[in-house]
Structure 1
Amino acid sequence: MQTVTKLAAPAPADGDPATLDGWVVVSGTPSMKTWALHTSSDGSMVSGYWEATPGTYHATYTAYEFVHMIAGKIIITPDGGTPVTVSAGDAFVVEADFKGTWEILETVRKHFDFKVSA
């Protein structure tokens, strides 16, 4: 059966205070919230919203992520790589083996889709 699930915009007061495996604060005192609004029946795909306040994390990814930025600005720098600046309206992907920093310059809200690696 084919289905379509519309993800409603979450209320700012809702959301789960989040700590993500593989994410370590390296600068400032950022905080994050996650609204996981849909999980595929086999558990391999999770979609929702994520919000974070300014600061810097070092992130280690084990899943593929597609992102559409709603608000904010981030400089994402792969370890040993070239920085990429993303802001509201941008879309990007992060590969499952990514390691590097997320420098959150302005409070971020994004749509996300995680695809767990096979």
Structure 2
Amino acid sequence: MNVEIITEFGLGVGESVTPDWGDDASPGWEETEWRAFGSSDQGFFGGGWEGEPGTLRCDPYPYDEVCIMISGRVALIDLDGNRREFGSGQAFFVPKEFRGTWETIEPSKKFFVALPGQSSAASS
């Protein structure tokens, strides 16, 4: 294998994408994805993400996602009110079946891999 096929990813690396979540996002919701590899058409994509405090209603979550927190703090709250918080250095997986709210508690950064699959209607 050639090292040229290796892809670096992270904050500021790749295509800057700001998803439009419409009314599902709280007023002032701000986030940027840095998509460095893959695409929705390929069935996966990933890179770096940064977001400001706010909430996003996920009914359901738009894709399977692996998250590795670099800094900040986020929470996922299901429809029954159960809450899980994650901070710097923690990694977690959110299945696209998750229904609830993503809350960015403080300015946060993460690495991510999204696995939309064949049935995803996620926007890009």
Q: When the two structures are superposed, what TM-score results if normalisation uses the length of structure 1?
A: 0.79
The letter for the 2-side match of 1:49 is G
Q: Could you tell me whether the CA contact under 8 Å between 1:22 and 1:61 is conserved in 2? A: no
Following superposition, the deviation at residue 44 of structure 1 comes to 1.4
Distance 2:25 2:111 in 1: 22
Q: Which runs of 4+ in 1 moved over 3 A?
A: 1-4, 8-12, 20-23
Distance 2:81 2:11 in 1: 34
Query: Compared with structure 1, are the counterparts of its residues 2 and 115 closer, same or farther at alpha carbon in structure 2 (3 Å cutoff)?
Result: farther
Higher helix share: 2
Q: How well do the aligned residues superpose, as a CA RMSD in angstroms?
A: 2.9
The letter for the 2-side match of 1:43 is Q
Following superposition, the deviation at residue 108 of structure 1 comes to 1.1
Query: Compared with structure 1, are the counterparts of its residues 48 and 8 closer, same or farther at alpha carbon in structure 2 (3 Å cutoff)?
Result: closer
Q: Could you tell me whether the CA contact under 8 Å between 2:72 and 2:106 is conserved in 1? A: yes
Distance 2:109 2:23 in 1: 17
Query: Compared with structure 1, are the counterparts of its residues 113 and 43 closer, same or farther at alpha carbon in structure 2 (3 Å cutoff)?
Result: same
Higher strand share: 1
Q: Could you tell me whether the CA contact under 8 Å between 2:63 and 2:95 is conserved in 1? A: yes
Following superposition, the deviation at residue 16 of structure 1 comes to 2.7
Could you list the runs of 5+ residues in structure 2 that have no partner in the other structure? 119-124
- 1:1-118 to 2 correspondence within 5 Å? 5-11=6-12, 16-21=16-21, 24-26=24-26, 28-39=27-38, 43-59=42-58, 60-118=60-118
Per-residue deviation, residues 25-72 of structure 1 (Å, max 9, x unmatched): 23x5220111000007x7012111111101111123232100000011
Could you list the runs of 5+ residues in structure 1 that have no partner in the other structure? none
Q: When the two structures are superposed, what TM-score results if normalisation uses the length of structure 2?
A: 0.76
Q: Could you tell me whether the CA contact under 8 Å between 2:7 and 2:36 is conserved in 1? A: no
Distance 2:37 2:17 in 1: 17
